[in-house]
A and B are shown apart, each in its own frame.
Chain A
Amino acid sequence: GESVGLHLPTLSVQEGDNSIINCAYSNSASDYFIWYKQESGKGPQFIIDIRSNMDKRQGQRVTVLLNKTVKHLSLQIAATQPGDSAVYFCAEGITGRRALTFGSGTRLQVQP
């Protein structure tokens, strides 16, 4: 398959460890944020979202934290598995507009 993001920042973790992927967003008007996972040769896959009136949201093995003061978003993956290896993108949006603005992505490599 083709590679997504040959020169992306890379986070390498051991299987079973927790992973934290960070993202700085650009538009203070953005009122919702989404994390996507993209495996090689595939389109982005929704992981979790959060609205700007929240600062934390939890899903299955994932937690998103939002700090609006410094325009920072993070994705925490608990007990990282080899299947979590992929490129992760944050995206920001504004209610009423259809366009999402994606960040540049982080490659997560999980070592067995």
Chain B
Amino acid sequence: DTGVSQDPRHKITKRGQNVTFRCDPISEHNRLYWYRQTLGQGPEFLTYFQNEAQLEKSRLLSDRFSAERPKGSFSTLEIQRTEQGDSAMYLCASSVPGKLNTEAFFGQGTRLTVV
């Protein structure tokens, strides 16, 4: 296990379709984060899991977005009825408990293009 793994790396979908992304964190990292990044911008926080519990959600996470981490290991992020504005890079990060979340390691992201 060399790092945070995200799948797929790229996804092109038609507007209105549903998409699901997967994140496999570093083994034994109990904290998992999802961020969204659009071109020219820094990542924006979406949600945070500690084990299987979703403890923080951003207002950016509209009701079309849902994230799960059923067994406290991998996580999925689903977007329903995709819109062109959903086109972005979706980043996952994981960390172990610490005083700061600077221990978070990011995956390479899933690039979503909605056409």
- Could you mark each residue 30-49 of chain B with 1 if its beta carbon is under 8 Å from any beta carbon of chain A, else 0? 01010001011111110010
Residues of A close to B111: CB separation below 8 A:
2
Residues of B close to A2: CB separation below 8 A:
111
Whether A98 is near chain B, meaning CB under 8 Å from some CB there, is yes
Known contacts A43-B4, A45-B106, A46-B104; decide if A98 and B55 are in contact (CB<8 Å).
yes
Place the interface of chain A in its size category.
20 to 34
* A93–B100 CB distance below 8 A: yes
Residues of A close to B91: CB separation below 8 A:
43-44
Residues of A close to B42: CB separation below 8 A:
89, 91, 102-105
**CB within 8 A of A102: which of B33, B43, B55, B107?**
B43
* B102–A32 CB distance below 8 A: yes
Q: How far is the CB of A21 from chain B (nearest CB, A)?
A: 13
Residue tally, chain B, CB below 8 Å to A: 29
* A98–B106 CB distance below 8 A: no
Q: How far is the CB of B95 from chain A (nearest CB, A)?
A: 9
Whether B56 is near chain A, meaning CB under 8 Å from some CB there, is yes
How far is it, in angstroms, between the C-alpha of A3 and the C-alpha of B41 when the chains are bound? 12
Whether A7 is near chain B, meaning CB under 8 Å from some CB there, is yes
**CB within 8 A of B31: which of A5, A98, A99?**
A98
- Could you mark each residue 103-115 of chain B with 1 if its beta carbon is under 8 Å from any beta carbon of chain A, else 0? 1111111010000
Residues of B close to A7: CB separation below 8 A:
39-40
- Could you mark each residue 96-112 of chain A with 1 if its beta carbon is under 8 Å from any beta carbon of chain B, else 0? 01111111110000000
* B56–A105 CB distance below 8 A: no
Closest to B32 in A: A98
Q: How far is the CB of B23 from chain A (nearest CB, A)?
A: 11
Residues of B near any A CB (own CB < 8 A): 4, 31, 33, 37, 39-45, 48, 55-56, 58, 91, 93, 99-109, 111
Residues of A near any B CB (own CB < 8 A): 2-8, 32, 34, 41-46, 49, 51, 89, 91, 93, 95, 97-105
Sampled A-B contacts (9; CB under 8 Å) = A4-B39, A7-B39, A32-B100, A44-B43, A46-B105, A51-B100, A98-B55, A99-B48, A100-B43
